Amino acid sequence: MRYATIVEKTPSNYSAYVPDLPGCIATGTSIEEVLSQIQSAISFHLEGLQLEGLPIPEPTTVCEYVEAA
CATH code: domain of residue 31: 3.30.160.250
Averages of pLDDT over each 10 residues, the chain, 69 residues: 96 97 97 98 98 97 93
Residue 29 domain boundaries: 6-51
Pairing status of strand 25-28 against strand 14-17: antiparallel
Asked, for residue 63, whether it belongs to a domain, the answer is no
Asked, for residue 29, whether it belongs to a domain, the answer is yes
pLDDT value, residue 38: 98
pLDDT value, residue 69: 86
d(CA 19, CA 9): 17
Asked, for residue 30, whether it belongs to a domain, the answer is yes
pLDDT value, residue 14: 98
